[in-house]
Each structure stands twice: as structure tokens, then as C-alpha cells.
Amino acid sequence: MGKAKRHARFSVTIDATRPGETILMPEGDWLKQMQIPRIGDLALPRDTKALVLDGTHIRNWDTMLLAFITRLEQYAESNTITFEVVNVPLGLKRLLDLTKSTSNKLQPPEREPESFLTALGNKTLQVFKSFASVNRFVGELVLTLLKFHVGLARTRWSDIWRQIALAGHMALPLISMIGFLIGLILAFIGSIPLKMFGAEIFVASLVGIGILRLMGPVMVGVVMAGRTGAAYAAELGSMNANDEIEAYRAMGLSPMETLVLPRFLALCFVLPPLCIYADLLGLAGGMAVGIFYSGLNRTEFLRQLSATTSLNDLFVGIFSGFVFGVLIAICGCYQGIRCKKNSTAVGQAATSAVVASLICMVIATTIITILCVILKI
């Protein structure tokens, strides 16, 4: 709070000839930087029936005095005291009138505070509603895809290419680095127990199966969820806040066709090649460890790799990557499109998009893995 504030001065007088009437006279300066009295500090007589604020001795004032008078007014009203303001500076009078002027006033709509039970009920309904709205979104997306397939959707190829460029080759540097390092780490960790059994050669198999089936696509998925999924949510969310999405709707264009589909197709299209790229770099990382740390030679490593991994491993990985692309695009676009119109909501949409993508990816990986075990792929 800092230094003590000067007190605003005032005097209270009672008019003996008129019982029940109290005259309150603010004196000198009444400004924001001063200590303004509370109602209790005024020590108004108990039997006050009429309160008069006389502004004859006011020197400097600002809107703090206005707030004080408004407070008095409310106090008078709740205690059935009549209240009157006299001899105040002209400007103050005009502002007082303005705060009460009805010609200027807008009527706020009624808003009932909700009880705990209502709030609980609404929250529960919200959960069901959000399920329904995800379903509707996915359904709409499928319909739009069908429309696109038969050439009826108003989706521009130029948009799709742009999104592919944004999501695809611009992610290559990041994926190169992470891919190589993950291969390296996997090989290092694997070679520790394998060394104990003198079976270092199996590092090749470990890296091969691990990267191709799981680590490659998961890594790409995580990078894309953080990089592209969040961007989709933030971009569409702020477009929504600026009525840009409504602008499409108003022209009879579906935002599904103009905004969501290009992003969806772009992600489905770029994820598989990115997976292959990450696989190659991951294998290179693993091979580097195999050669320089475990002392294998290159032909040995490659022979072991091709003997113990099959094309199926690669295909399962690519398929997972494709599924991740679908999920990330859906999570990102859905969060963006349904985002509320304020800046906090845009931030939340981006966060939710990433979190939802990661959860969906883990669940999808589990399902794919179990299916592969059952189907012996």
C-alpha cells in the first residue's frame, strides 16, 4: 500500500429547525489519491430521514467523488432515506446526471446465478454434448471427404499444397535431429544388456524393429502434434475469434471444405513419408552406435538388420503414422473450430489439441499393437 494517504475532509451538520435532516459537506480536495471516508466514518445521526450533500466547499475533485456520491445514494436507498445533492460544481452535476440518464443506458440481459445442482447438471450434460460434437465433427469430415472424392468439395489444391509444405518439409530439420538421436539412444540402451550376453549383434534387430514399428511413427507423431496440431488449433481459433470462419459460412462455403479438409489431407499425406524419413535417420543413428561403440562392422549390421526385420515392420509403422496424422488433424482442427472468441480460449485450444492428440496416439498405438499380436503381423 505504501505511504499513508491524506484524508478527504468533510463536515456533518444537523439542521435543528428541520428534524431528521442531515447535511454532509465535503471540503477541499476529493481525489483518488486520498483516503475517502466509508459510510461508517461519516457518523450520520441514527434518526436521519433526509440526507443532503452540499458541495459548496469542494475544491478539486475527480471521479472518486462521483463514486462516493453513488455509494451514498445506494446507502440512502437501502435505508429509505431521501437523498439530495446541492451546490456541487457544474461538471460534477452533469456527470451525475449522465450516470443516471436513461436515454444513454443499455439494458443488460437477465442472468440468473446458477445453483450448485444446476451447475453440476450442466457440467455433466457438457461432457455428453462434447462427445456428440466430436462425433458430429468427424461425421461432417467424412461427408466432406466423400464430397471431395467425387469432386464436389470446394477445396483448393493450392491450399492443400500449401499445408503440405507447411507441415511437411518444414518439419524435416526437427525430425532429422530427433530421429537420429532417438536411434542413437535406443542403440546405446539396448547394447548395455546385450553386451552382457555377448550378443551385441542384436543391437541391429533391436534398433530395426524398435524404430520401424514404434519409435519412428511415435516420434514423428509427437513432433507433429506439438508443431502442426497446436498451430492448427491456434490458427483456426483466432480465425474464429475474428469472424473469419463465419465469413466463409456467410458466403455459403463450408469451413470444413475450405479450412479443415486441406489441413486434414495434408497431414494424412505427409505423415507416412515423414515416418520413412525418420526411420532412415533412426537406423543411421543406431548403426553409428553399432559401428563406433559396439564394434560391429557395417555389412554385419546390415545383414543382421535385414535378417531379423521384415517389410511388415515398416508397413505397420507407416500405417501407425497415417493413423496419427488423421488423429492430430482431427484434434487440432476440432479444437480450433469450436474455440471460444477470446485470446485465452485460443491458448487453451492449442493446449487441448496437443494433449488430446497425444492421448489418442497412445490409445491408437495400443490398439494397433494388440491387433498385430493377435493377427501375428
Partner 1 sequence: MTPPKSPSNPPHEPPPIEVRDVTLSYGQRIIQDKLTFTVKKGATFIIMGGSGCGKSTLLRHLIGLHKPAAGTILRDGHDLWNCDMKTQHKIRQASGTMFQSGGLWSSMNLAENVAFPLQEYTNLNPREIKELCQVKLALVGLAGFENFYPAELSGGMQKRAGIARAMALDPKILFLDEPSAGLDPISARRLDELIIELRESLHTTIVVVTHELQSIFTIATDAIFLDSATHTMTAQGHPRQILQDTTDQNLIDFLTRGTGKTDRQQAI
Which residues are near partner 1 by CB under 8 A? 1-2, 5, 32-33, 36, 62-64, 66-68, 70-71, 90-92, 94-95, 98-101, 103-108, 111, 241, 340-344
Distance, CA of 288 to chain centre: 41
| Nearest to partner 1 of 88, 305 (CB atom) | 88
| Nearest to partner 1 of 35, 79 (CB atom) | 35
- The distance of closest approach from Cβ of residue 79 to partner 1 in the complex, given in angstroms and rounded to an integer, is 18
Query: Using a CB cutoff of 8 Å and minimum separation of 24, what contacts does 289-293 make?
Result: 289/183, 289/184, 289/187, 289/188, 289/191, 289/203, 290/187, 290/191, 290/200, 290/203, 290/204, 290/207, 293/187, 293/188, 293/191
- The distance of closest approach from Cβ of residue 251 to partner 1 in the complex, given in angstroms and rounded to an integer, is 21
Separation CA 301–CA 77 (nearest Å): 90
| Nearest to partner 1 of 95, 326 (CB atom) | 95
- The distance of closest approach from Cβ of residue 202 to partner 1 in the complex, given in angstroms and rounded to an integer, is 55
| Nearest to partner 1 of 63, 366 (CB atom) | 63
E strand or H helix at 375: helix 343-375
E strand or H helix at 120: helix 116-149
| Nearest to partner 1 of 191, 240 (CB atom) | 240
| Nearest to partner 1 of 94, 162 (CB atom) | 94
Separation CA 278–CA 275 (nearest Å): 5
- The distance of closest approach from Cβ of residue 71 to partner 1 in the complex, given in angstroms and rounded to an integer, is 6
Contact 26, 57 (CB under 8 A): yes
Separation CA 312–CA 120 (nearest Å): 49
- The distance of closest approach from Cβ of residue 103 to partner 1 in the complex, given in angstroms and rounded to an integer, is 7
| Local structure of 10: helix, strand or coil | strand
- The distance of closest approach from Cβ of residue 64 to partner 1 in the complex, given in angstroms and rounded to an integer, is 7
| Nearest to partner 1 of 242, 297 (CB atom) | 242
Angle at 370 between CA 368 and CA 374, to 5 degrees: 115
- The distance of closest approach from Cβ of residue 112 to partner 1 in the complex, given in angstroms and rounded to an integer, is 12
- The distance of closest approach from Cβ of residue 80 to partner 1 in the complex, given in angstroms and rounded to an integer, is 21
| Nearest to partner 1 of 92, 212 (CB atom) | 92
Size (the chain), residues: 377
| Nearest to partner 1 of 18, 249 (CB atom) | 249
Angle at 116 between CA 112 and CA 117, to 5 degrees: 100
Separation CA 218–CA 178 (nearest Å): 11
For CA atoms 114, 117, 123, 128, give the dihedral sign: negative
- The distance of closest approach from Cβ of residue 108 to partner 1 in the complex, given in angstroms and rounded to an integer, is 4
Contact 195, 293 (CB under 8 A): no
